[in-house]
Chain A
Amino acid sequence: MATTLLPDASPDASATTDLKSAKAARSGQLRLIWRRFRKHRLAMIGLVITLFLYLVVIFGDFIAPYGSGEFDADHTYAPPQAIKLVDANGDWGLHVHPLTLEQDPDTLALTFTPDEAQKVELGFFVRGSEYKLLGMISTDVHLFGATDPDARAVHLLGADRNGRDVLSRMIMGTRISMTIGLVGVSLSFVLGIIIGGISGFIGGRTDMVIQRIVEFFMAIPTMPLWLGLAAAIPRDWSPTTRYMLITVVLSFVGWTGLAREVRGRFLSLREEQFVMAARLDGASRPGLMFSEMLPSMMSHLIATATLAIPGMILAETSLSFLGLGLQAPTVSWGVLLQEAQQIRVIATAPWLLLPGLAVVIAVLALNFLGDGLRDAADPYKR
């Protein structure tokens, strides 16, 4: 502040201490937020699960025992295999019993039975199919799997119609499902801040018009609108383009909540003394908005954005489940659940519903995390 008032003066002692104390106050607030957040037990659990899920996103192909396209025709609808620690001879070591396939001569129904006499040994850091870690390093080491690369495939969570490993596909699906929410929310964040900011900062007639538009978007059923927009994306476009457009579709409808939040904050901050001070100091309008007011509401905005991610994840899952979102060969939780659309399929292979469990866990974790952040965002309250 001192340097702005006296541009010629060299930064004197008081200015530097000012800066220091400002920094201390800033980190102090972060520490206060963290302290308050830590007390919220569910939010901490949510944080841990969320961090874990994003680790899975980053190291997906290392954690997954198989690639998402690898299949084994003998393992169509193979059930989950149980991990055993001790075998019949009393020897220790992680292993599963390989499945043998039998066909009922009358009904032609396939049944899998574990072959107790044999075992497939499991281990950590085993060799499997090749992939690029972090998209750069070429390697074939996987976190766990059968120690012998030529052994029968192991399906800890069962296999699907084509004998593909459900666990591996769920892990790979985490990538798309967890990032689509993040990218979608970032897009609606930008839209929300700009539109909500203009609305709350300028006020008056502009505010009224923008609020009517926001209300309109909130009043029409989102799902049909999402479906209609997603259906317009040509089927033959590349998976990457489709992914980007789906996020655009999601955020196009999802920015309204954030815009409302931003507007409300701007309206209340406008009357604060530090904003008045900055205005008298000659700060420009955009400067006032972006360098004075926005930082002071950032913690609230991050909380709101976190609470918006689960909605996006649910929306992507529903769109893909209905066949209008992402499409195979892209793997997301919704695409995986598309396999489980028929009641007959669910009855023979209920494990195909497991990606749904991943959705529920992710959404719960993000909700708890967001709730905790919202409560902690204002450490001086109460």
Chain B
Amino acid sequence: MLKYLGQRLLYVIPTLLMVSIVSFAIIQLPPGDYLSTYVANLQAKGEQVDPALLESLRQRYGLDDPFIVQYFKWMSGIVLHLDFGHSMEWSRPVGELIAARLPLTIAIAGASIAIVWLVSLPVGVYSAVKQYSIGDYVATTISFLGLATPNFLLALVMMWFGFTMFGLSVSQVNAGTLIIAMIVLGTAGTAGLIRTLRANLLDELRKPYVVAARAQGLKESKLLIKYPLRVAMNPFFSTIGWLLPSLVGGEVIVSTVLNIPTTGPLMLDALLSQDMYLAGSIIMILGVLTVIGTVISDLALAWLDPRVRLGAN
């Protein structure tokens, strides 16, 4: 287990490094540096720009330095002082802005995963045990629809229903919009997980040991929970690897539609106004958190399933 842990953590380092490089590349992507964009925007509005401020910002980020030097300046700021840079649009430190909104993002993503698990476990088991029953067809149909519907469309439709039926207010965050966000985010993941769980459990139920146990007179419910379900449960942890990235991505859109003050809408605004340090930092933080979440799920999987941790040796 320790060896597996070490190996897995060793792999994380290059991944995190790449996440940071890609995020910084996104900061650098728009033509011209962001200071000139900023100045152009201000001058278009007829405002004056303080040359001293400009010069100090230019110095601080080393905008005249090559890419790699700028990257190291940015990264050392983050690692040493948790300084993610300065948001032009908000004229506040990026770190402060993100810290105010990150908890809600994490809470929504966490709650969505909980919903995904709570719904897909019973439905997936039912679908597999009662294969080709009406309930199975209904579950399969809904999960196909869930995979095919864009997150924001589902959010829009649910918002519309909430608005016309229950007079839901969407001008600010409230319990209604939060619930809609979690349901919407949960749907896509649930759909995928139900399909995986059903397929895995079906494979497992056909194995000879199940027949043997049944022939020995083991009770059907006990038989199911004791062995096949435990084996088929693996995807609950292994899928976090793809569930988390898609949840985090979906959260950006759903929160924007529903007006929930998470990092998602903040990032979108930042991208639209080319407030690149803010946008790049959010992309990086979301990426890093996703990587960490995936590692935790991998470790949980290794702890649960000896095949995984022994396979590493």
**Do chains A and B stick together as partners?**
yes
Nearest Cβ in chain B — how far from A62, in angstroms? 28
Number of interface residues of A (CB under 8 A): 40
Complex contacts, B90 vs chain A, CB 8 Å: none
Residue of A nearest to B18 (CB): A216
Question: Are A356 and B29 closer than 8 Å at their CB atoms?
Answer: no
Query: A222 contacts the other chain (Cβ, under 8 Å)?
Result: yes
Smallest Cβ-Cβ distance to A365: which chain B residue: B148
**Is B250 within 8 A of A231, CB to CB?**
no
Q: Which chain B residues in 6-26 approach chain A with CB under 8 Å?
A: 11, 14-15, 18-19, 22-23, 26
Contacts of B294 in A (CB 8 A): 219
For residue A340, which residues in chain B have a CB less than 8 angstroms away from its CB? 156
Per-residue interface assignment for chain B, residues 130 to 157, with 1 indicating a CB less than 8 Å from any chain A CB and 0 otherwise: 0000000000000011011111110011
In the assembled complex, the Cα of A310 lies from the Cα of B150 at a distance in Å of: 10
A367 to B195, CA, bound (A): 14
* Interface-central residue, B19, B22, B150, B271, by most chain A CB under 10 Å: B150
Whether the Cβ atoms of A227 and B160 lie closer than 8 Å is: no
Interface string of B160-171 (1 = CB under 8 A from A): 100110000010
Interface pair A223/B248, CB less than 8 Å apart = yes
> Residue among A234, A322, A343, A356 with the most chain B CB within 10 A?
A343
- Is A350 touching B160 in the complex (CB atoms < 8 A)? yes
Is there an interface contact between A353 and B153, defined as CB atoms closer than 8 Å? Answer: yes
Chain A 337-365 interface residues, beta-carbon cutoff 8 Å to B: 337, 340-341, 343, 346-347, 350, 353, 356, 359-360, 363-364
Which of chain B's residues 43-88 have a Cβ closer than 8 Å to chain A?
Answer: none
Given known contacts A221-B249, A221-B286, A322 and B256 CB-to-CB distance under 8 angstroms: yes
Contacts of A337 in B (CB 8 A): 152-153, 156
Pair A220/B287 contact, Cβ less than 8 Å: yes
Q: Quick one: which of A223, A228, A322, A343 contacts B26, CB cutoff 8 A?
A: A228
A218 to B157, CA, bound (A): 30
Q: Are B31 and A343 within 8 A (Cβ)?
A: no
The segment from A69-77, A165-173, A313-321, A374-382 that touches chain B is A313-321
Given known contacts A218-B242, A321-B152, A225 and B22 CB-to-CB distance under 8 angstroms: yes
Determine whether B119 belongs to the interface, using a CB cutoff of 8 Å to chain A: no
Q: CA of A350 to CA of B156 in the docked complex: distance in angstroms?
A: 10
- Judge if A324 is at the interface, Cβ distance under 8 Å: yes
A53 to chain B, nearest CB (A): 14
A367 engages B156 (CB within 8 Å): no
Once the chains bind, are B148 and A212 in contact (CB under 8 Å)? Answer: no
The proximity string for A residues 183-212 relative to B, scoring 1 for CB distances below 8 Å and 0 otherwise, is 000000000000000000000000000001
Interfacial chain A residues near B250, Cβ < 8 Å: 223
> Which of A218, A322, A360 lies in contact with B148, CB distance below 8 A?
A360
Rounded to whole angstroms, the CA-CA distance of A220 and B23 in the bound complex is 11
Contacts of A329 in B (CB 8 A): none
In the complex, the chain A residue whose C-beta lies closest to that of B162 is A343
Residues of A within 8 A of B248 (CB): 221, 223-224
Q: Please classify the interface of chain A as helix (H, G, I), strand (E, B), loop, or mixed, using the class held by over half of its residues.
A: helix
* Chain A residues, CB < 8 A from B156: 337, 340-341, 346, 353, 356
Q: Is A264 an interface residue (CB 8 A)?
A: no
Q: Which residues of B contact A229 (CB under 8 A)?
A: 26, 29
Instruction: Determine whether the beta carbon of A227 is less than 8 Å from that of B252.
Output: yes
Cβ of B129 under 8 Å from chain A = no
Closest residue to A314 on the B side, CB-wise? B150
Within the complex, which residue of B148, B242, B267 is in contact with A310, where a contact is CB–CB below 8 Å? B148
Give the residue name and chain of the A residue nearest to B151 (CB). Answer: A318
Determine if B290 and A364 form an interchain contact, defined as CB atoms under 8 angstroms apart. Answer: no
In the bound complex, residues from chain B placing their C-beta under 8 Å from that of A1 are none
Chain A stretch 206-254: residues in CB contact (< 8 A) with chain B: 212, 215-216, 218-229, 231-232, 234
Taken together as a complex, chains A and B put the C-alpha atoms of A317 and B248 apart, in Å, by: 17
**Candidates A222, A224, A343, A367; contact of B163 at CB < 8 Å:** A343
Contact indicator B147/A367 (Cβ below 8 Å): yes
B25 CB to closest chain A CB (Å) equals 9
Given contacts A221-B286, A224-B267, A359-B153, contact A322 B29 (CB under 8 A): no
* Pair B257/A341 contact, Cβ less than 8 Å: yes
Q: Which residues of B contact A232 (CB under 8 A)?
A: 26, 29-30
A323 on interface, CB distance cutoff 8 Å? yes
| Residues A219 and B249 in contact, CB atoms below 8 Å apart | no
The residue of chain A having its C-beta at the shortest distance from the C-beta of B265 within the complex is A322
- Kindly list chain A residues whose C-beta atoms are within 8 Å of the C-beta of B147: 363, 367
> A223: nearest residue on chain B (CB-CB)?
B249
CB-based contact B157/A353 at 8 Å? yes
Q: Judge whether B282 is part of the interface by a CB distance below 8 angstroms.
A: yes
Known: A216-B15, A324-B271, A347-B164. A221 touches B29 (CB 8 A): no
Q: List 9 A-B contacts (CB under 8 A).
A: A219-B291, A220-B19, A221-B245, A222-B245, A224-B248, A232-B29, A318-B151, A353-B156, A356-B150
Q: Which 3 A-B pairs have the closest CB atoms?
A: A223-B249, A232-B29, A231-B271
- Residue numbers of B with Cβ under 8 A of A are 11, 14-15, 18-19, 22-23, 26, 29-31, 144-145, 147-153, 156-157, 159-160, 163-164, 170, 241-242, 244-246, 248-250, 252-253, 256-257, 267-268, 271-272, 274, 279-280, 282-283, 286-287, 290-291, 294
